[in-house]
Amino acid sequence: MIFVSSNKHKFLEISRMMENKGITVEWKRMKYEEIQADTTEEISLDSARKLSASIGEPFFLEDTGIFLDSLGGFPGPYSSYVQSKIGNSGILRLIEGRNRSAYFLTVITYFDGRLFHQFSGKLNGTIAQSERGNLGFGYDPIFIPDGFDITLGEMELESKNRISHRSKALQALVDYLLANHGI
Ligand code: ITT
């Protein structure tokens, strides 16, 4: 399976999950252009459509966002831009004194060589009072998954993989492949 992404952390999480299922993931490391759109689904699909013209064989990619309830779902599809401009400390300042509920959403788009298929995974949680942990990446140090009292930044990769948005979306893809192609 070819996975397209510029993000090493995503690849490490995905390849470990797939390894545990006996599937080898080949990392096509590249930065591709992402449109700015209202939904993660649209962004993920648009990227896959454009890349399919040059890749020409089955692959998958994913787009992920963090959605803060008290900010009407912001940054959501703008998560990458917001992370690079204001970072986790900026998010902590933005939601000071507000409801801290949030969720991660991952949308995988799989191109089977002809058609596109989407699979999503969600992880609910709350935004921590301060950054904690140096594991994971991106928003992990400020996100406490429901049912835990540590952030994703304090979780080993295997533990994050057991509960994450990304692993749920990936499991849906694997289920689809098993049902339709036998992998
Ligand atoms: P691609 O090349 O795969 O697009 P990217 O890092 O640009 O890699 P996204 O646009 O999907 O990926 O990510 C949006 C932002 O959300 C970005 O700042 C990531 O660091 C962050 N992010 C994505 N997945 C995350 C996760 O599991 N935990 C914490 N932050 C995450």
Rounded Cα distance, 156 and 141, in Å: 12
5 lines ligand 1 (CB under 6 A): yes
| Ligand 1 atom closest to 30 (CA) | 2
**What is the position in ligand 1's atom list of the atom closest to the CA of 152?**
28
32-63 residue pLDDT tens = 989 989 999 999 999 999 999 999 899 999 99
3-class SS at 148? coil
Tens digit of each residue's pLDDT (9 = 90 or more) over 100-151: 999 999 999 999 999 999 999 999 999 999 999 999 999 999 999 999 999 9
**13-23: per-residue pLDDT in tens?**
999 999 989 99
Domains within the chain, CATH numbers bracketed: 2-181 (3.90.950.10)
Q: Which atom of ligand 1 is nearest to the CA of 61?
A: 3
**Under a CB-based contact definition with an 8 Å cutoff, are residues 108 and 61 in contact?**
yes
Confidence of residue 171 (pLDDT cuts 50, 70, 90): very high
For the whole prediction, is pTM greater than 0.85?
yes
Residue with the nearest Cα to atom 22 of ligand 1?
Answer: 138
Residue 33, both tokens: 């252009």
Nearest CA to ligand 1 atom 14: 80
User: Which residue of the set 46, 63, 112, 140 is catalytic?
Assistant: 63
C-alpha pair distances (Å), 102 with each of 46, 91, 118, 134, 146:
25, 12, 22, 20, 10
Q: Is 63 a catalytic residue?
A: yes
CA angle, 82 then 102 then 118, to 5°: 80
5, 7, 122, 127: residue to mutate for ligand 1 pocket, most atoms within 8 A of CB: 7
